[in-house]
Amino acid sequence: MSDFSTNGAVARTNGSGTATLLETKPCVLELDHIGVRFGGVIGLDGVSLRVSEGEVCGLIGPNGAGKTTLFDVISGMRTPQDGSVTMDGVDVTGLSAAKRARRGIRRTFQRVQTFGWLSVEDNLLTALEWRGGGGGLAGDLLALPSRKRRERQRRERVDHVLGLCGLTGVRKSSAGSLPIGQARMVEFGRAIVETPRLLLLDEPTSGLEDVEVDRLAQSMRALLGEHECAVILVEHDMHFVMGECNPIVVLDQGRVLCSGSPEEIRTNEEVQTAYLGDVKGMHAAAAPTSEATNFSPTNNKEES
């Protein structure tokens, strides 16, 4: 008997190969025929996809395929000329990035963006929304117990996330003084400290040591275990993508070339034809080694 998941529907095959639907996970994000043009340049062309609760969706494709543009559209930083973005059943196409953040969209960037002059701990605290504890200014002045309780809860949440991200030992260090791997984890921690509903990670393993990549994978799994959310990540490291993502969506020249499970992507002829030079890397990803394998034909992780 084996389990598989597609479009959030968790199904199980019995001995005779008949699939029975056990459970349907709610759809967190649905993109319907998204189109973006930059003057005459096509950024995205009719991109549709669905991501359900509990899924880590891997977005792969060569430089210029439209991955970052898609993240901009999902997070609300760019309004598409065509198509719609639906989150938890609500059309958010016209909503600002700030309003979408309120609905639980969090994002990390291709180039790490921490508040370098702040401590690691303060980087996380600033991302944790302060809703106060009631009582307004008077509550502040009188240091009401509800205020103290809220403040304690905030600090406990930050402590938990620092631990999850392996940052407890450097909590007092300024974020700007950290090596790239830890700086990326600060960005990751900042994105999850206020619980996400949909987490967007743009090349999260770029510049990370193997041990840090493992830590990131663990933190991501812990997040999905603790909260009802979904993750979409753009990544060139095929070991990471094949090991952590399902489904995987392949973008090429602004269109979805194909999508499916890691096995389906690995054996897809169109993908193999389009990325002949990387087929070796994709097969290598089936049997992980300590060496990172890059999907990009140019092996260039630093995109514009």
Largest Cα span, the chain: 69
159 or 303: CB nearest Mg ion: 303
Phi, psi for 250 (deg, rounded to 5) = -100, 120
Torsion, Cα of 266, 269, 270, 271 (10° steps)? 20
Task: Indicate the SS3 state at residue 245.
Answer: coil
Core vs surface per residue 31-42: b (16+ CB within 10 A) or e: bbebbbeeeeeb
User: Is the CB of residue 67 less than 8 Å from the CB of residue 234?
Assistant: yes
Write down the least CB distance from residue 81 to ligand ADP, Å.
13
Task: Pick from 65, 199, 223, 245 the residue near ligand ADP by CB under 6 A.
Answer: 65
Q: Based on the shown chain and the rule CB under 6 A, indicate whether residue 67 belongs to the binding site for ligand ADP.
A: yes
Which entry of ligand ADP, Mg ion, none binds 43, CB below 5 to 8 A by partner kind?
ligand ADP
The CA-atom distances, in angstroms, between 109 and each of 46, 199, 203 are 24, 11, 8
Task: Pick from 8, 54, 58, 66 the residue near ligand ADP by CB under 6 A.
Answer: 66
Element (H, E) at 289: none
By CB under 6 A, which span of 26-34, 66-74, 153-161, 189-197 interacts with ligand ADP? 66-74
The helices-and-strands tally (H runs, E runs) of the chain is: 11, 13
Task: Pick from 28, 31, 43, 246 the residue near ligand ADP by CB under 6 A.
Answer: 43
Task: Pick from 3, 20, 21, 41 the residue near ligand ADP by CB under 6 A.
Answer: 41
Cα separation, 64 vs 140, in Å, equals: 50
Task: Pick from 29, 51, 68, 189 the residue near ligand ADP by CB under 6 A.
Answer: 68
Cα separation, 187 vs 107, in Å, equals: 9
175 or 265: CB nearest ligand ADP: 265
Q: Based on the shown chain and the rule CB under 6 A, indicate whether residue 69 belongs to the binding site for ligand ADP.
A: yes
Write down the least CB distance from residue 80 to ligand ADP, Å.
12
Write down the least CB distance from residue 281 to ligand ADP, Å.
18
Q: Based on the shown chain and the rule CB under 6 A, indicate whether residue 38 belongs to the binding site for ligand ADP.
A: yes
| Interacting residues with ligand ADP (CB under 6 A) | 38, 41, 43, 61, 63-69, 303
